[in-house]
Amino acid sequence: MNSKIYRCGWCGHPTDKDGNCLQNESFKKAVSILETYGDVKHTHLVNGECCLYGNNSPEREMMQVTRDMASDAQDPSLEGQWVKW
């Protein structure tokens, strides 16, 4: 396979080299290639339009506390809460 596949580095959606989300046949072709060859050598991560603010997205500043995280903090009541990080 000689094709380059571009994906949003934040959510993994197939994109073009400029980060524009693929649609219709282009999307299906990219997904087919990924399913056939995997997500290795030919995949390039870009800042996709689907995740406009990338690192600076307000949603990226919040995370939900998992059971393991709450256990590490020795406070089971934290599980499931959203915290700013």
Paired with 45 in beta bridges are 7
In percent, how much of the chain has pLDDT > 70?
80
Give residue limits of the domains in the chain. 1-52, 55-85
Q: For the chain, how are helix, strand and coil distributed in percent, rounded to 5?
A: 40, 20, 40
Helix or strand run (H / E) with residue 14: strand 14-15
pLDDT tens track for 26-64: 999 988 888 888 776 778 888 888 886 665 555 556 667
Give the model's confidence band at 15: pLDDT under 50 very low, under 70 low, under 90 confident, else very high. very high
pLDDT of residue 27: 92
pLDDT of residue 10: 82
- Amino acid code (one letter) for 3: S
Please give the model's pTM, rounded to 2 decimal places. Answer: 0.58
Phi/psi for 64 (5° steps) reads -90, 135
